[in-house]
Structure 1
Amino acid sequence: MTTNRLSLLSRWRAALCVLAGLTVGLSSASALAADEVKLLKAVSTVGTRYGQTWQDVTYFVVVKNLAYEKQVAIHDKQPDGTWTDLAASYAGDAGAGLELWKVTRQYQSWGTTPQPTRDLEFVAKFTVNGQTYWDNNGGANYHLGRADGPLLPRANVLVGTSYWQPTGDVDIGIDVKNLSYSKNVTVVYSTDGWATSHQVAATFTSGYSVGYSYVSSPNAQGVERWQARIPAGTGTPAYYVRYEVNGQTYWDSNFGYNYPPIYPPL
């Protein structure tokens, strides 16, 4: 009886030591982010051509500019169950002391079997001043199907793409969360430095192509694609997007800088 009690006590002491070590490690070097790091958007598509299959993945992460030296990454679960860091690169100023960072990956098959496309599980990671912050989706991690297209964990509207056409028109693809069937999506633009402005309505599309990939709309993440076109005119257009739904208005103004004709950043 005494031996059993001592054995049980030893096990509890060992467990408490392990927990104490984990707690100290979390508080001294690692923490769940408040607003230090946030996943803004992730996109995954699967392309096929000439019998080949590949997967293109892009992540956008917003971090606080707490110091010049920093490391931003996507902590990504591998097919064998291990985890690895995908290093991000600086993509631009996100306003209000924030920065935008970007990760891109392409997983090619070139005829291998099985094809290396996969559903994704990941979190955002930010290391600065000896501290590591995590955005792990409230402990659930982020999940994105291999051919889902965009995931918008926080924003209700984000520009996906915009390109010059040979005619001089600018075609804009807009991703919006499907918050209600009835909604209005509008592009507001100017070609004279906002001395005057104009509006063009966007229209819903049930699916769209990205290179040799196809994405359904709405997708499995509840994101719809809307399309708008700024007609050709004098001057280079700058624009932002207004999304009206359920009596609310949401904006995407590229962190207050408005969008250029060509997006996303390379």
Structure 2
Amino acid sequence: MENIIITGDSTCDLSQELKERYRIETVPLYVNFGEESRRDGVDVQPDDIYAYYNQNGKLPTTSATTPADYMEFFSRKAREGDAVIHFNISSGFSAAHNNACLAAKEFSNVYVVDSKNLSTGTALLMLRACDMAKEGVPAAKIAEEMKRLRDKVRASFIIDKLEYLWKGGRCSGITALGANLLRLKPCIEVEDGNMKVGKKFRGKLGDVLEEYVENRLKGREDLALDRIFITHAGIAQEHIDRVRRKVEEFASFHEILVTRAGCTISNHCGPNTLGVLFITK
């Protein structure tokens, strides 16, 4: 059986506990505070972004892991196992995947997968790859299967307020103001490696989150029930508990994994963002 190492970039939003359980290592993207660059999850945490924004009224920018970073990372990991399968945030969101591919050309045992996803949408693929590796499936076959399975990932988030999207240049000030005045909370969905605005919910955050979960899960007979993620960018525990109860109402997942989003999602979407992410059959 091959000793297969599963890795990813920091945008996968796996908790430290899950990284340790599955023996996964991640390579960080960068968060730039003016001229100062910090490594996502290493030198900077999401709350640092919120504090910076509250103090300065400006958001940091994010940038991709460089080819040189990947060369160093793959050089080390390729020596530790028979094969490395590395997962990246969608190439539609970042240059990280292309940079990883450039570096991987120097290694015969490194497979790079464009997740066509973000956050724990990518993590769902990584954990499924870990399951397959444990079953003895060869690395090349796992990498190919992940490219098929990525179209089955259902990733979405509810945005509480559009302020961060506006400040990041992803929507107009008029749109953000109108949404806030009308108490609209859009659902941002990932489709074919890009983001789109789905249903717009209206009302108090807790009620909207319950309605959102019902909209995503009710009546579905195609759910892969091994695991589902509840991923948030900093939100009250009472909301997480309400979402968990609502998930349990509609499906009997083997695991409901709660994780906090890292700097990329947090920087783009802001606090009180929450999503349920799962795979269909």
Greater RCO structure (CA 8 Å; 6+ sep): 2
Identify whether the pair has TM-score above 0.5, normalized to the shorter chain: no
TM-score under structure 2 normalisation? 0.30
User: Which structure's residues are more often helix, by fraction?
Assistant: 2
Which structure has the highest strand share of the two? 1
- Structure 1 or 2, whichever has the larger Rg, is 1
